[in-house]
Structure 1
């Protein structure tokens, strides 16, 4: 089978999936596992937002415009020159073999996962799925054994064996209708006792489910209690001191329950219905009035959150720490990112811990400004700490 290239312009889901990924700095290739890579764009060892943003655009060109691996390599070399990024040590930066391998991994991994995530949006509506082995170069014995298996779409086996199922895996899946299946019986999914399990941990997830969710009612996603963290709390892992509480640079706004008044306050503070902040990692955070809509829809109402709007810029642009956490929806399996800007502020006798941003297609929206005790602020430290004030 020839190398797959992008050109998914006709597959809107694949393009949308990759475009909506958020740039997340990582130091090692295995920092994000088990579906966390679905909403995140990462390159092992890339910790600078500007570099990740350029690489994100380079891979997006392959997916949206059909650019080849050689096209990507030219973009890659240009980015390396402009950004001065070192590939796992300066001694490897000029190694042609290493460059060829690294660029191939970045290109094919992202193109394949985008393609299979996009296909899932169609495949999840079929009652059965058929595994198709396509990896001609370096074929895997277990992948060959799965070739031709027809298994129910809702079988848990697809949660860990929907391709890609390894580095360089080019297997795919075909949707099977009841009419096409006819009188043939579907296959039983291989059990652990029957198979020689070879799917690496970093690939043991369904990229389509993690990106878009299973084919169930949309109402299943409305209960916030269905979202559970994929990461444990790690405040002690980084050996960080307690969060200090300082005086803010601006006062709080008056309390009000008037939605029009709060929306106008947002416009007065930020000059429009949306605002863009640049955080210490040079990441662009675009926050819209969707946050106000979210507050208004909460059972407890605004609960004083509107008073903290003036502090939004200070917390995002001058935080104490930045954390990225991942949550999985327990019914759909979809994975989402939450980004936490932590900064302790003392306003009179009130303590404010920081801001939680939630990822939606194309932007970040502020869900809440946390206010409470120092212990509560510490609980915002969940997931991966991506930046901290020294």
Structure 2
């Protein structure tokens, strides 16, 4: 299978389609699924933010500068070596999938944006499906070769290429006159779509069953670019200082219970102490100290978090203690020994772009057998943490992509 080539320079809409994506760590390819890829950039198994961002920068450069698969492979080798990333699969296969899929899907998304032009739609209201000419064609793709259907027909919401890994089929805008002149039969509606159930992610921690049109690879059953507008309109925050639950992306929630409680008891800090005492207790758990340089804490999945007293500075010379001072020891333990880690893109009041948040969740046993449910919400725009009032409140935050579950290391 030849690498993706288009025979022309990248165009503005294609470049924008890639630039608008937000890097998000994942464990498996199915963590970000289907149209969710219109908003998120991911590389299967790259579960640290720095790795994903490096790959996104590389792919963006490949697109903007028209570079080749050989160029990307050199970048891939350097990124994997720099981060010590033990990727799965052969180098040739992984690099081709990342390069081809991102180039083809961003190309298709850019073309879809061009096809939204009202004047073009008036002149060329039909879409023409052309098979890519593979030596080993997919029968269902080949069966659609030459099909002409109105661009606003729901059939295109499913069958707009790319329709699978390595698929090189194309979609063109045509008028009825052009289509008939070139020998194609014009249909006023697309054919009925036959669906089947497929189980994906069977080799990962969270397999699930999806409904997929017959002939299309799981994850490709959508029109590229259609998910780009979702979730980017600012909305009120669900909680003061916390991300927006209603607009978390992906919206999927956990399907299994939290890990069982630990047997050891976690002491809460004494109430009524000076804020410096609480700050020192938190920083000390990570080997940091007030007034010193921030230290880099590596969490259980290898993500590097800066820990220093700037976490508690309010910008006015005072202190801000997320979760209240007495809970800071439990919040420190939640970061160090979480029960689960989730990541999600969320909206912010002051930005039209989603921001990535990592959520560290823990269920701790407190003195006297009391239940302690804790959340740390960590993003590049800030962090916060708190003790949940009840299990339902904690459960609401178990959504997005789960990177870690205690007991499944």
SS at match of 1:35: helix
What TM-score comes out, normalization by structure 1 length? 0.62
Structure in which a larger fraction of residues adopt helix:
1
| Pairing 1:202–2:219 present | yes
Report if aligned partners of 1:279, 1:317 keep a CA contact under 8 Å in 2.
no
Report if aligned partners of 1:36, 1:326 keep a CA contact under 8 Å in 2.
no
What TM-score comes out, normalization by structure 2 length? 0.59
Q: Give deviations 1:337-357, integer Å, cap 9, x for gaps.
A: 76433246999x997642557
CA RMSD of aligned residues (A): 5.3
What CA distance in whole angstroms lies between the structure 2 residues aligned with 1:309 and 1:151?
A: 60
The alpha-carbon deviation at position 233 of structure 1 amounts to 2.5
Q: 1:221 to 1:317 in 2, by over 3 A?
A: closer
- Gaps of at least 5 residues in structure 2 are 196-212, 238-243, 273-295, 307-319, 347-353
2:163 to 149, 152, 165: 165
Q: Give deviations 1:349-387, integer Å, cap 9, x for gaps.
A: 9976425579xxxx6677996842133213322344203
Q: Which residue of 1 aligns with 2:41?
A: 41
What CA distance in whole angstroms lies between the structure 2 residues aligned with 1:341 and 1:201?
A: 30
The alpha-carbon deviation at position 159 of structure 1 amounts to 2.6
Q: 1:147 to 1:3 in 2, by over 3 A?
A: same
- Gaps of at least 5 residues in structure 1 are 93-97, 253-276, 287-304, 328-334
What CA distance in whole angstroms lies between the structure 2 residues aligned with 1:377 and 1:353?
A: 8
Q: Which residue of 1 aligns with 2:99?
A: 107
Report if aligned partners of 1:342, 1:355 keep a CA contact under 8 Å in 2.
yes
Q: Give deviations 1:78-119, integer Å, cap 9, x for gaps.
A: 23333343343xxx7xxxxx4323321121011111222233
Alignment of structure 1 residues 1-390 onto 2, 5 Å: 3-4=4-5, 8=10, 10-11=12-13, 12-17=15-20, 20-26=21-27, 28-88=28-88, 98-125=90-117, 127=121, 128-137=125-134, 138-175=136-173, 187-192=188-193, 197-213=214-230, 230-236=251-257, 240-242=259-261, 280=299, 281=301, 283=303, 308=323, 318=336, 320=338, 321-324=340-343, 339-343=358-362, 353-355=374-376, 371-388=388-405
What CA distance in whole angstroms lies between the structure 2 residues aligned with 1:40 and 1:219?
A: 17
- How many residue pairs are counted as aligned between the two chains? 327
Report if aligned partners of 1:121, 1:212 keep a CA contact under 8 Å in 2.
no
Q: 1:249 to 1:157 in 2, by over 3 A?
A: farther
The alpha-carbon deviation at position 69 of structure 1 amounts to 0.5
